[in-house]
Chain A
Amino acid sequence: MLEVENLRVVYQEVISVLHGVSLKVRDGEITVLLGANGAGKTTMLRTICGLLPVYDGKIIEGNVLLDQTSLNRLDSSAIVKKYRITYVMEERPVFWYLTVEQNLKAAAFSRWDREVPPDIEKVMTIFPVLGSLRDTKAGYLSGGEQQMLTIGMALMTKPKILLLDEPSLGLAPLIVRELFSIIRGLNKQGLTIFLVEQNAHAALSVAARGYVIESGRIVLEGPAEELIKNKDVREFYLGAAMADQKRFREAKRYKRRKRWL
């Protein structure tokens, strides 16, 4: 189980982003983290996988624990290699100037062994579209294809826990649906997934548990089916307007109620 305990993170020593966040990602489940832009979702994932130093960020309090082992001081390659946590950045982090096949090979670098070529074939069967694009540079793929490649690359690292950062960003609704069915399929095969999303509906429909983060604090948590019914979640993330807010002009997008304390 991946646990985050009372985490506080600052960037450049002063910009405080997470103010004491605690959450749990249970093994074999899909856990979703919802939040608006700038709420600290991406920072959360960067912290878990040890990428904070690259962005000049620092944990000033709290802990990231994987089965009671602290991951705080480890660097990202150790976390991927030893603890099998793979972070998939937002906006489809494929290597644009490498071909599809080279991308998959590069992603498998941390665990290079004889299994790599068969695993590449396996990824190609999960995502048949990649098979026909084997020698195309990844920069020329469409958004959907790039997202498939990204997930394929993440699978090449043989993760136990997959951290997905807004996989649905900028994709057509049909592709989003396909993507989420793939995510659900991977989860069925035993992969633990921590999903960060703005597309609340799609995310909550596949997830088991969910958290809502606002300005660096968790304001709501619970099983996904409860969250999907929650009035505030419906209003802010699922776009259901309240009776007295029918006019678009009056609907403040970032209206927030104080829900903590």
Chain B
Amino acid sequence: MTFFLQSFFSGILSGLAYGLLGLGLVLIFRASEAFNFAVGEFLVLGAFLFYIFYFTWHLPFLVALPLGLGAAALFGALVERTTIKPLMGRPHLAMTIVTLGLANVLAGGLQATAGSDPYSFTLDLPDLTVELGTLIYPSPQIWAGILSLVFFCLVLLFLYRTRWGLVIQATSESQPKALCFGINAQFVLLLVWAIATVCIGAAGVVIANLGALSCQTSLVGLRAMPVILIGGLDSIPGALVGGLIVGVVEALTGAYVEPMGLIGFKEVIPYLVLLIALFIRPYGLFGTVRIERV
């Protein structure tokens, strides 16, 4: 039982980080109706930007984090301006394809500048290691959970409690409608991409903190796909729940199935769960129930 609890809760903790990652994608999907395939590269880039401020320039964590994520936001805004905005009024598939290209360009660029060696990435944060009897949760995991949850809540507050959040919701529903009421949809999209990049970058920082940072960390970005597809592509609570499901399933598989000789099954299981979830609910667990007027 302790073994189960141990892996279950560490799954929850990494699931929170996946949820934050999913949130970034959901925001982009709702606003641009594009799936951002460059999520893994955004994640690594966000983590590297933070790395520069924190490890290279030795700024304190509370300064480096906003600076790093601010730089990530700028980057997200830049990507939106240069690649997404020119495609306004075109089919949404065009933007999705652009993100595919972007993923390759960024992956190459990161590889060229940072090299392929891993960088050690250990945040100097207060030790929060939890020991409950035989249960042990190392500090980085706890911090991953806490930071992810904090970011998730901040984004939710912004989205549901401010008027900017309101127009983001409105623009996400329909750009032409928003435009004709004088909402500057272009700027709203810019904002959404910036916020989403911050989410993805923050997830990158906490995920890198669990191990090390290298260009291969971008593979974690693939995990975002089952996360938001299980939860529902356009659902914000779905991103969190999907993240938790993926995290827990992954941890439990790592604990119970892999020792049976199925090494690497942990990487596959989220997609299996995704397949099952899509059979049962094609829109995802929390995908929008479309308002239908009869």
Chain B residues contacting A211 (CB-CB under 8 Å) are: none
Chain B residues contacting A109 (CB-CB under 8 Å) are: 163, 166-167, 170, 181-183
Contacting A110 at CB < 8 Å: which of B88, B89, B183?
A: B183
Specify the chain A residue showing the minimal Cβ separation from B293: A139
Contact of B177 with A by CB under 8 A: yes
Contact of B216 with A by CB under 8 A: no
In the docked arrangement, what's the CA distance between A53 and B90, Å?
Answer: 10
Contact of B129 with A by CB under 8 A: no
Q: Assuming the A-B contacts A96-B291, A106-B167, are A56 and B89 also in contact, with contact meaning beta carbons closer than 8 angstroms in the complex?
A: yes
Contact of A134 with B by CB under 8 A: no
- B182–A76 contact, CB under 8 A? yes
> Which of the candidate stretches A79-87, A227-235, A243-251 sits at the interface with the other chain?
A79-87
In the docked arrangement, what's the CA distance between A112 and B181, Å?
Answer: 12
Q: Assuming the A-B contacts A109-B163, A139-B293, A140-B291, are A95 and B169 also in contact, with contact meaning beta carbons closer than 8 angstroms in the complex?
A: yes
Which residue among B163, B174, B180, B184 has the maximum number of chain A CB atoms within 10 Å of its CB? B180
- B179–A106 contact, CB under 8 A? no
Given contacts A97-B169, A137-B291, 5 further A-B contacts (CB under 8 A): A80-B182, A94-B177, A106-B183, A109-B166, A110-B181
Contact of A254 with B by CB under 8 A: no
- A81–B182 contact, CB under 8 A? yes
- B291–A97 contact, CB under 8 A? yes
Contact of B117 with A by CB under 8 A: no
Contact of B211 with A by CB under 8 A: no
Contact of A77 with B by CB under 8 A: yes
For chain A, which range describes its interface: under 10, 10 to 19, 20 to 34, or 35 or more residues? 35 or more
- A86–B163 contact, CB under 8 A? no
The 5 closest A-B CB pairs, nearest first, are A80-B182, A110-B182, A139-B291, A77-B184, A93-B177
Chain B residues contacting A111 (CB-CB under 8 Å) are: 182
Contact of B176 with A by CB under 8 A: yes
In the docked arrangement, what's the CA distance between A87 and B181, Å?
Answer: 7
Contacting B166 at CB < 8 Å: which of A51, A76, A102?
A: A102
- A86–B182 contact, CB under 8 A? yes
Contact of A49 with B by CB under 8 A: yes
Contact of A107 with B by CB under 8 A: yes
Contact of B173 with A by CB under 8 A: yes
Contact of A260 with B by CB under 8 A: no
Tell me the minimal C-beta distance from A42 to chain B in angstroms. 11
Tell me the minimal C-beta distance from A103 to chain B in angstroms. 8
